[in-house]
Amino acid sequence: MALLHFLKPANALEAGGRDHLPVQSDAMEPELTCPECRRSTPVSRLQSRYMVCPCGYHFRMNARQRIRMAVDAGTFREAFADIVGNNPLAFPGYPEKLETARAASRENEAVICGTGKIGGHPCALFFMEPGFMMGSMGTAVGERITRTFELAYEKGLPVVGFTVSGGARMQEGLLSLMQMAKVSAAVRRHADAGLLYIAVLTDPTTGGVTASFAMEADITLAEPGATIGFAGKRIVEQTTGKRLPKGFQKAETVEEEGFIDRIVSRQQLKTTLVMLLAMHPAGGERT
């Protein structure tokens, strides 16, 4: 049943961004080549298995695909979609970048928020969008996520959030940096009300998002193989002055280091979320 709702949106970026553009096979059906096992798989087949290669490699997914994967069919109500970024610092070239991102992702900002049910449990939800400037966080993203936590606080709901981000959006300067503080304060208020926050870290979750709400959840899940870190690899390599160890900033390594509760494959994700939500009866303990 869930698979039937897992339909392909008309969006070239959904298949994982620039790295893995579909290639045409003889049968004219678009295929994706797995960077792990080099096998090519028809996109339609991948879609029926949550964009996971038979070898287990997780291709990138866009936010709408995740909503279909995680949220009970027909229950998602998008909210705060009218909050969009402008160009507060008159940063050169930024309006054009926003235009391109909007055209490429068919979203108006880098996160989709709302409410919905997961296994019948009402939740406040956010899904970051890799096709929109790689999920970078500016004022609109910060405001939407803050409002999601505020809504959850008012209604006594858990928050389930999917992160994917290159970090703070530099074109909005200090205002982007302030989003880390703003969202963190909202997370704290929600937490103090005894409410549950589950973060699902997907590829890549880095920079200011890692240094704020991605790492502030009660339960932190991650997708297999996801890059999770703060500084970019290049910078760490320069600072360290030697080659980085195998598996650096990979979810599996970050779990070993103690910063992730659990790595969950997409096939297991919804079941896991439902189990966790069921163990946290609504309301929590208000302080």
**Residues forming the site for Zn ion (CB under 5 A):** 34, 36-37, 53, 55, 57
If one asks whether residue 118 binds other proteins (CB under 8 A), the answer comes out as: no
Strands 219-222 and 262-263: parallel
# residues contacting other proteins (CB under 8 A): 51
Q: Considering the complex, state which of residue 258 and residue 281 has its C-beta at the smaller distance from other proteins.
A: 258
Give 123's DSSP letter: E
How far apart, in whole angstroms, are the C-alpha atoms of residue 266 and residue 152? 25
Q: Which of 20, 11, 136, 2 is nearest to 64 (CA)?
A: 11
Residues 6+ apart with CB under 8 A from 166: 133, 134, 135, 136, 204, 206, 207
Contacting range for other proteins; rule: CB under 8 A; set: 27-35, 42-50, 72-80, 184-192: 184-192
- Name the one residue in this structure whose structure tokens are 């909210």: 79
Q: Considering the complex, state which of residue 253 and residue 272 has its C-beta at the smaller distance from other proteins.
A: 253
Q: Considering the complex, state which of residue 14 and residue 216 has its C-beta at the smaller distance from Zn ion.
A: 14
Task: Candidates 62, 105, 165, 179: give the one binding other proteins (CB under 8 A).
Answer: 179
Which x/- pattern over 237-266 shows residues binding other proteins (rule: CB under 8 A)? Answer: --xx---xx--xx-------xxx-------
Give the nearest distance from C-beta 224 to Zn ion in angstroms: 12
Tell me the two tokens of residue 234: 């290049």
If one asks whether residue 211 binds other proteins (CB under 8 A), the answer comes out as: yes
If one asks whether residue 207 binds other proteins (CB under 8 A), the answer comes out as: yes
The option from Zn ion, other proteins, none interacting with 53 (CB < 5 to 8 A, set by class) reads Zn ion
Give the nearest distance from C-beta 51 to Zn ion in angstroms: 11
Helix (H, G, I), strand (E, B) or coil at 130: coil
How far apart, in whole angstroms, are the C-alpha atoms of residue 58 and residue 65? 13
Q: Considering the complex, state which of residue 34 and residue 145 has its C-beta at the smaller distance from Zn ion.
A: 34
Q: What per-residue string of b and e applies to 226-246 under the rule 16 or more CB within 10 Å gives b?
A: bbbbbbbeeeeeeeeeeeeee
Give 109's DSSP letter: S
Residues forming the site for other proteins (CB under 8 A): 89, 91-93, 139, 142, 146, 168, 170, 172-182, 184-189, 191-192, 207-208, 210-216, 229-231, 235-236, 239-240, 244-245, 248-249, 257-259
